[in-house]
Structure 1
Amino acid sequence: MPPLGAFEEQAKFTRAIRVGDRIIVAGNVGVEQDGSISPDAGRQAERCFEQIIDYIRQLGGHSGDIVRVRMFVTDIADAMVVTNAFTAACGHARPAGTLVAVSALAGPHFKVEIEAEAIVGAGQ
């Protein structure tokens, strides 16, 4: 299991977990490594996928093993830039995908939240 961040430790949940050959990655928001948040929804989505793929690798999988992605945006006008980030990150695997608009996320600067599932060995 990847190391827990402060929020995960406080809330008592795991950001990513492997059960058998299945890896489940909880919702990720686009916080950069330095703690900043880009105002650009496309960059937030790219950062989400960077984190997701990193968690999957830490748990023994790779981006080709991704079989399901759920994307949440606070403005449906950002759907195309988020979809572009999805395609760049894991379009080669052609996972099932959902993108929906929601009224808000956990913080006012967050425009995108993404979660994913992978099956180790799916290897597309």
Structure 2
Amino acid sequence: MKDTSFAIHPGTKKKLEGTDYRDIGNLVSYTIKDNGSLIGYCEKGFVRIFFYKADIVRVMMDPKKEPVVSSSHALVAEPTTADVEVKERDSYILMETSKLTVHLQKVPFRVRITDGEGRTCFGKRKRDGAQCYR
């Protein structure tokens, strides 16, 4: 089974020595689709974020093109409609359901996911980390 996903690496450098991980850069623009998903256009890649349901979110990154939603080896569920509220602020975007909040920092682009109690499920907790693709 070939893994076609791109890694989100929590390093702090633009390029990590001995790897081919690179920072995806700043969020340049984005589009919200009818289903509540977000397509982000970054300086060095593309991001798609969508909810399978209120407590399952999928983050996809691709350095060359918009990520195409296809089946996932990690998820056996098919996407359903989740009520997603999107709030834009100057420096970040929030995507909220009743169970999760996705925090999208614009400059540099970073992703943090918290649960209903504010606990970080994904992302750096104490210091900034780079969102990278491989």
Q: TM-score, normalised by structure 2?
A: 0.26
More strand by percentage: 2
More helix by percentage: 1
Q: TM-score, normalised by structure 1?
A: 0.27
Larger radius of gyration: 2
